[in-house]
Structure 1
Amino acid sequence: MAIINALVLEQMFLKHYQEWCLLSFSYVGDLDDSKDVVQSIFIKLLQKECNEPIKDLKSYINTSIRNESLKRIKKKQRTFSIENYSSEVPSYEHELIRSEISQTLFREIDALPDQNRKVFELCVLEGIKYENAAEIMGITVNTVKYHLKKTFKILRLNLRDVYLWML
């Protein structure tokens, strides 16, 4: 296995760094994040072992930067925090409300059917990929997706009052 030529990568990095940062910035909207994306792509490329050479390295890097930027956006959107909805100074009442909401959420998760709860815990709470969760549970990837779809539907239905109340 051949490692991608570090000298070629360094030259491309120096020549196209600003261009790639702007490409990432057009997706993520944050300069520091865009720099992190570009740098992480190059770190991955330096560590990557290839069986076959990459034919169009610049195009490959452009696509990698776009995909990594989209992943970063998706990850930020998933980060859900109740504090984002409250701009007031925390008080005893707010803490009580947060704890009640947390208890309600965990109660609803515990009330899910076993398979749905296990898939939800693996994929959502632990962040395991669908393929790995399917392997762990001994089911297909499509079954994992089905259980997640069903779980989100149940939770949306059961927690609609809590969600509206939170807003």
Structure 2
Amino acid sequence: MGMINALVLEEMFLKHYQEWCLLSFSYVGNIDDSKDVVQNIFIKLLQKEFDAPIIDLKKYINTCVRNESLKRIEKRQKTFSLKNYTTEVSSYENELIRSEISDTLFRHIDALPDHSKKVFKLCVLEGIKYESAAEIMGITVNTVKYHLKKSFKLLRLNLKDVYLWFL
């Protein structure tokens, strides 16, 4: 039994934080929720003891981000149905902002080069493993990784202003 090295986690957090926020955002549609999801995962990882070492930590965290984002959506849907609709004055404005962000995000995803867009949709939005995406597209796993890296680089560059505005 052991814990994950805090320095390794810190390095992963700094290197991939925006990427994981974007992944979570693609599910939850709210930048604050996506940041909470990613930060909560790292807090849990720092405190958790594991029976066996994690072979691919990045892949493990990707899965955690996806699962926590889906839990967040489910929790939000349950609490939303219990809320009194008249108490939220700004919910319409928040919904408009969320809608604008989603539209902007998906517009930039659609603007990606064809192969990069297809790989991004398969691996990030649908959660398909790199190996499966490579088979589906008839390319190598390294090419899948290349297209994902290219996609995230372009999205970070194009969404920098949107992302910083919501920080």
TM-score w.r.t. the length of structure 1 is: 0.54
Corresponding residue for residue 75 of structure 1: 63
1:24 to 1:75, Cα distance in 2 relative to 1, 3 A: farther
Instruction: Tell me how far 1:166 sits from its aligned partner.
Output: 1.2
Aligned residue in 2 for 1:28 = 45
SS in 2 for 1:94: helix
Return the offset for 1:77: 4.1
In our comparison, the structure showing a higher alpha carbon Rg is 1
State the partner residue of 1:146: 146
Letter in 2 for 1:122: L
Identity of aligned residues (%): 63
Query: Alpha carbons of 1:73 and 1:144: their partners in 2 closer, same or farther (altered >3 Å)?
Result: closer
Change (3 A) 1:114 1:25: closer
Instruction: Mark the runs of 5 or more structure 1 residues left unpaired by the alignment.
Output: 1-19, 38-61, 84-88
> In the TM superposition, what are the counterparts of 1:52-131 in structure 2 within 5 Å?
62-63=51-52, 66-67=53-54, 70=57, 73-77=61-65, 79=68, 91-131=91-131
Displacement, 1:28?
3.2
Please give the TM-score of this superposition, normalised by the length of structure 2.
0.54
Report which structure shows greater RCO (CA 8 Å, sep ≥6): 2
Number of equivalences? 111
TM superposition shift of 1:72:
5.2
Go from structure 1 to structure 2 and tell me whether the alpha carbon gap of 1:134 and 1:74 turns closer, same or farther (over 3 Å shift): closer
2:16 corresponds in structure 1 to none
Q: Secondary structure of the equivalent of 2:54?
A: helix
Q: Which runs of 4+ in 1 moved over 6 A?
A: 24-27
- Where does structure 2 lack aligned partners over 5 or more consecutive residues? 6-43, 77-87
Q: Which amino acid aligns with 1:158?
A: N
Q: 1:97 to 1:67 in 2, by over 3 A?
A: same
Distance 2:139 2:62 in 1: 26
Q: 1:137 to 1:103 in 2, by over 3 A?
A: same
What residue identity is the alignment partner of 1:145?
Answer: K
RMSD of aligned alpha carbons = 3.3
Shift of 1:119: 0.4
Query: For the Cα contact (< 8 Å) 1:109–1:117, is it kept in 2?
Result: yes
Kept after mapping to 2: 8 A contact 1:122/1:133: yes
Equivalent residue runs for 1:40-51 within 5 Å: none
CA distance in 1, matches of 2:164, 2:120: 23
